[in-house]
Amino acid sequence: MSQIPADLLYTSDHEWVRVADGVATVGITHHAQDQLGDIVFCGDAPDEGDKVEKGDVVAVVESVKANSDIYSPVDGKIAAVNEALEEEPELVNSSPYENGWIVKVKLSDDDTSDLLNAEQYEALVENES
């Protein structure tokens, strides 16, 4: 299933994580954006440099009908917030894995062993539907 890129890691809350050079880029999966529908707001992110722990809310994504908290899948510090989403939150729908990324977190610990791989995440999505 091409909607779940093989090279990313995932959470059971439908976030994806791309780790490169000690920084985790975080977004929501194709499945998550599809379930939410048209996204019209993305915000409430902490400031750059703020410490976050796994499970902390790092953004809120709102569609026309629902809102969804986005949790940090890792421990670290906020390295960047995708400011493009302020004007174009619909990027989360149209490009969930690229232009629609939500935050970058500088890892304080590279251990990502508790995240799901693509195969595990695909099984989780199939289980839910």
Partner 1 sequence: MAAPDLDSLSKTPFFDRHVEAGARIVDFGGWAMPVQYEGILAEHHRVRTGVGLFDVSHMGEFFVEGAGAEAFLQRMTTNDVTALADGQAQYTVALYEHGGIVDDLLIYRRGEGRYLVCVNAACIDKDWDWFSSHHDEAADGCTLENASTSWAQLAIQGRHAEALLQKLTDADLSAVAYYRFTEDVLAGVDCIIARTGYTGEDGFELFFDASHADAMWAAVFGAGEEFDLQPIGLGARDTLRLESKYCLYGNDITDETTPLEGRLTWIVKLDASDFIGKEALLTQKEQGVPRRLVGFELQGRGIARHGYPVLLDGEVVGEVTSGAHSPSLSKAIGLCYLPKGSTKVGTEFAIQIRKKTVPAVVVKTPFYKRDY
Nearest to 17 by CA among 96, 95, 86, 87: 96
Could you tell me if 81 and 72 are in contact, meaning their C-beta atoms sit under 8 angstroms apart? no
Which of 1, 6, 12, 37 contacts partner 1 by CB under 8 A? 37
Q: Is 75 in the site for partner 1 (CB under 8 A)?
A: no
Could you tell me if 90 and 96 are in contact, meaning their C-beta atoms sit under 8 angstroms apart? no
Question: Would you state the torsion angle of the CA atoms of residues 113, 111, 55, 35, taken in this order, to the nearest 10 degrees?
Answer: -50
Compute how many residues bind partner 1; rule: CB under 8 A.
Answer: 16
Least distance CB 104 / partner 1 (angstroms): 21
Question: Which of 17, 32 has the CB closer to partner 1?
Answer: 32
Q: Is 62 in the site for partner 1 (CB under 8 A)?
A: yes
Q: Is 55 in the site for partner 1 (CB under 8 A)?
A: no
Q: Is 65 in the site for partner 1 (CB under 8 A)?
A: yes
